[in-house]
Amino acid sequence: MAHKLILNPHIPGDLVEALDYYAPMSLELANRFRQRVKNRLDDVAERPESFPFDIPPIRFARIERFP
């Protein structure tokens, strides 16, 4: 059962900034980034205990291959 995710209010804006950064380089790159974020959010919702705490109860999940 997936848990409900509560995102930091800054995350949507940060994701838009990241997509605006990657899109001029390559739409494929921007789409890959978008998909990896979606996959990572799905992972966190399914298995939150697999991700370390940043500051409890906030968990940290890195998006692989993207700075």
Question: Would the CA dihedral through 18, 2, 58, 60 be positive or negative?
Answer: negative
Q: Residue 65: is its pLDDT beyond 80?
A: yes
Q: What is the pLDDT of residues 13-60, one digit of tens each?
A: 999 999 999 999 999 999 999 999 999 999 999 999 999 999 999 999
From its phi and psi, is residue 4 left (phi > 0), alpha (psi between -120 and 50) or beta? beta
* Whole-model pTM over 0.75: yes
pLDDT at 67 over 80: no
Task: Please give the radius of gyration of the chain, using alpha carbons only, rounded to the nearest integer.
Answer: 13
